[in-house]
Structure 1
Amino acid sequence: MKLTLQPGLRHAGTLEVLPSMTVSNVSAELKAFADMPPVFATAMMVAFIEATCIECIADHLEEGEHSVGSHINVSHTAATPPGMSVLAEVTLTSVERRMLTFKVEAFDDVGLIGQGSHQRAVIDIDRFNAKIADKAKGSSR
């Protein structure tokens, strides 16, 4: 991690909500969602927030480093129909060794739709991939 990875970093991203991002379209394998209302899925909001956090810190990691999500505590308080834009605003609030904590908020064209916190762990990509490969070899399922 570079010395510039410090609390106070901020980033914002925007996204147009497409029909493919609605609850009923989250996954064909998850049949329970098939008859849900066509609004921005919480899973997609969380993914967008995570992507915005990744973008926030990208220039502050060394080559060979990345980050993985380790905890998310986010409310999703308002529905957003397809066609509206969503804005995610994230602020890095804490850096403790390799653990990063963010304050996160999401807004649609009308107002606040979600807020909370998100933690990411900075990883060494090669070491992480090696551990995953070892885990896959030892899978008992």
Structure 2
Amino acid sequence: MPPKPPLQATFRPGLSGSVRLDVGEADTAEALGSGDVPVLGTPRLVGLCEQASLAALGPAVSPDQTTVGMRVHVDHLAPTQVGGVVTAEATLEKVEGRKLTFTVTVRDRCSLVAAGRVTRVVVDRDRFLSKASG
């Protein structure tokens, strides 16, 4: 098996990805237990930001690797009601060894809904899973 390329060669700043969500009842703060209003819940919004960061990496992650969440800093700036559509975008800004930092934004048709950073770490899939199982 050929050696793996160094991370710097595989993951380059500028990689970007996006995901779209039609906000439904299950995505609300009420449904998620994070509030008592029927608008896009912050936990679901954070999940969208992580999904966008994964979309940015796409095939750059080898089959024996994965990335796991390490840090999320997102400011939820505006509400989105059920039936609204939001798009989360992530751009890889910085590669520090195994640590990948993304700038993320979430927008609906009217405004910036959220902005922040997501940091993920590249890990060996099998080693990580063996740690999780004890």
Q: What is the TM-score of this pair, normalised by structure 1?
A: 0.86
Gaps of 5+ in 1: 135-141
CA distance in 2, matches of 1:102, 1:2: 15
Classify the secondary structure of the residue corresponding to 1:7: coil
Q: Post-superposition shift, 1:58? A: 2.4
CA distance in 1, matches of 2:115, 2:90: 10
String of CA shifts for 1:23-78, please: whole Å, max 9, x gaps.
Answer: 0101xxx5x74xx1100000000001101111111210111111111001110010
Corresponding pairs, count:
128
> What letter matches 2:128 in structure 1?
F
Structure 2 residue 44 is the aligned partner of structure 1 residue 44: yes
Query: Where do residues 56-75 of structure 1 align in structure 2 (5 Å cutoff)?
Result: 56-75=56-75
Counterpart of 1:9 in structure 2 is 15
CA distance in 1, matches of 2:51, 2:61: 15
Q: Post-superposition shift, 1:116? A: 0.8
Classify the secondary structure of the residue corresponding to 1:80: coil
Counterpart of 1:81 in structure 2 is 81
CA distance in 2, matches of 1:14, 1:102: 17
Classify the secondary structure of the residue corresponding to 1:114: strand
CA distance in 1, matches of 2:99, 2:13: 12
Is contact 1:2–1:60 with CA below 8 Å preserved after alignment?
no
Classify the secondary structure of the residue corresponding to 1:3: helix
Matched-pair identity in % = 32
Gaps of 5+ in 2: 1-6
Deviating beyond 6 angstroms after TM superposition, the runs of 4 or more aligned structure 1 residues are: none
> What letter matches 1:113 in structure 2?
V
Classify the secondary structure of the residue corresponding to 1:86: strand
Is contact 1:52–1:88 with CA below 8 Å preserved after alignment?
yes
Cα RMSD, aligned residues only:
1.4
Q: What is the TM-score of this pair, normalised by structure 2?
A: 0.90
- Which stretch shows the higher mean deviation, 40-49 or 3-12? 3-12
